[in-house]
Amino acid sequence: MTGVVVAGGGLAGLVAARHLAKSGLDVTVFERESSVGGRVRTTRENGYTFDRGFQVLFDSYPAVRRELDLDALSLRAFSPGATLARPGKRSVLSDPFRDPGALTETLFNREIRLADKLRILRLRRELANADPAAIIDGDRPSRTIESSLADRGFSRRFAERFVAPFYGGITLDRSLSTDARVFEYTFKMLGEGRATVPAEGMEAIPRQLAERARGAGVRIETDATVEAVEADAVTVDDETIGAEGVVVATDPKTAGELTGVDTPDGTRGCATVYTSLPSSTPLDTGKRLLLNVVDDRPNQVAQLSTVAPEYAPAGEQLLAATFLGVPETDDEALFEETRDTLSSWYPERTVADLEHLRTERVPFAQFDQPPGFRAGLPDPDAPDGQVVLAGDYTRWCSIQGALESGRVAARTLQDRMGV
């Protein structure tokens, strides 16, 4: 066989494959698992939809708008902002521009001081005018989220009570030691769009990408592991196959092993505890995320079926409680912590009916993104010959990073092949 081989059928590989096929190349994707999607996967069981770890799609990400048919995904959106929860107390902090109904609650929220609420509006205005690519790629000095907040005059209280749980949930790093570019980019995107999940679960995203790739002529082979990559051939499950070009779109560790290129090696994981509660016990926080302002046990709880009713059978609510890192605690103990935390947030009602459904432990969700991390990431054209890299690890850890990397990798390979 000749043609182009894409190793890995995650978001990046699927996008790269489609763009290459659209330029007239003969493209085959080899995916190690039994289905495509990589880190974006969903399991359905007994009428519930369990994403592989709580995750959302920001519909304002430029690459999301470019690569996906969002209407076909039937997106279900969270309300802007969040409910800040601590024992005996819950309060709303929202975006008055996008959620005017929550203006009074937001103004009178006593967790966060007025001066910080005004600073949020100033930051919103500052970032509204910024070019997204310049936020992530620009040559401003790098700093942590924590120091970028301090430099902008935000109080420690604001950092601890809102940013730590909210962006800790996005970066899986509640210490706010991640590069501030990630915070600024996602803050801008949330000001301009919504956090959503597809009605059929997050896996609907790679499913759509795979359909589009097949539509462009791509062949996708699952249960097929790429074991070695040469300039003109790949070895797949002990068989050597000729290739005019190769896109290595695996996870960063495997990409490093296959190409010899340095890839980021730090890992951030999480565990999501899925529970159900009868619909007769509403949590009254609507479609807002519940943030733990006190600690990370759990860091946040999402009422998924309030946002996407399709995620739970009739009469039941599906809640997703996320713990950062990969806790050593067993599933039962994590569930008990979730129940205890929820009952401390809701002393006026019982959560005795809370039932443990499933725990998703994801040891590798993201790589470390400390200040300046972008300078250490490999370029798509780092390998020699007709071999290029795709994957979030060539840009930054997100659906945006993965989708964008696929397009860039395809263009890079086309240039190398003179197509």
Q: How far is residue 305's CA from residue 126's CA, in Å, rounded to a whole number? A: 34
| CB nearer ligand FAD, residue 29 or residue 112 | 29
Residue pair 200/48 in contact (Cβ under 8 Å)? The answer is no
Binding residues for ligand FAD restricted to 6-35, rule: CB under 6 A: 7-13, 30-33
Q: How far is residue 402's CA from residue 249's CA, in Å, rounded to a whole number? A: 9
| CB nearer ligand FAD, residue 7 or residue 351 | 7
- In this chain, which of 399, 408, 409, 410 binds ligand FAD, going by CB under 6 A? 399
Q: Pick from 42, 37, 43: which is nearest to 12 by CA? A: 37
| Two tokens, residue 53 | 């770890």
Bridging pattern class, strands 233-236 and 27-30:
unpaired
Shortest gap between Cβ of 215 and ligand FAD (angstroms)? 19
Does residue 256 touch ligand FAD according to CB under 6 A? no
Residues 44-83, mask of contacts with ligand FAD (x by CB under 6 A): ---------x-xx---------------------------
| CB nearer ligand FAD, residue 242 or residue 363 | 363
Shortest gap between Cβ of 12 and ligand FAD (angstroms)? 3
| Two tokens, residue 18 | 């489609």
- What is the C-alpha R_g of the chain? 22
| CB nearer ligand FAD, residue 259 or residue 305 | 259
* CB half-sphere exposure, 398, CA atoms < 13 A: 25
Binding part of the chain for ligand FAD, among 91-99, 139-147, 278-286, 399-407 by CB under 6 A, reads: 399-407
| CB nearer ligand FAD, residue 39 or residue 119 | 39
Does residue 378 touch ligand FAD according to CB under 6 A? no
Binding part of the chain for ligand FAD, among 1-9, 19-27, 138-146, 331-339 by CB under 6 A, reads: 1-9
Total residues in contact with ligand FAD, by rule CB under 6 A: 34
**Which amino acid, residue 90?**
R
Q: Is 57 left (phi over 0), alpha (psi -120 to 50) or beta?
A: beta
Does residue 38 touch ligand FAD according to CB under 6 A? yes
Q: How far is residue 189's CA from residue 185's CA, in Å, rounded to a whole number? A: 6
Q: How far is residue 261's CA from residue 268's CA, in Å, rounded to a whole number? A: 21
Binding residues for ligand FAD restricted to 217-236, rule: CB under 6 A: 225-226
- In this chain, which of 243, 289, 382, 402 binds ligand FAD, going by CB under 6 A? 402
Residue pair 12/30 in contact (Cβ under 8 Å)? The answer is no
Q: Is 189 exposed, middle or buried (0-12, 13-18, 19+ CB in 10 A)?
A: buried
Whole-Å CA distances, 117 to 113, 145, 154: 7, 17, 9
| CB nearer ligand FAD, residue 250 or residue 299 | 250
Shortest gap between Cβ of 166 and ligand FAD (angstroms)? 12
| Two tokens, residue 362 | 């994801």
Does residue 251 touch ligand FAD according to CB under 6 A? yes
| CB nearer ligand FAD, residue 112 or residue 210 | 210
Binding residues (CB under 6 A) for ligand FAD: these are: 7-13, 30-33, 38-40, 53, 55-56, 225-226, 249-251, 254, 270, 362, 365, 391-392, 397-402
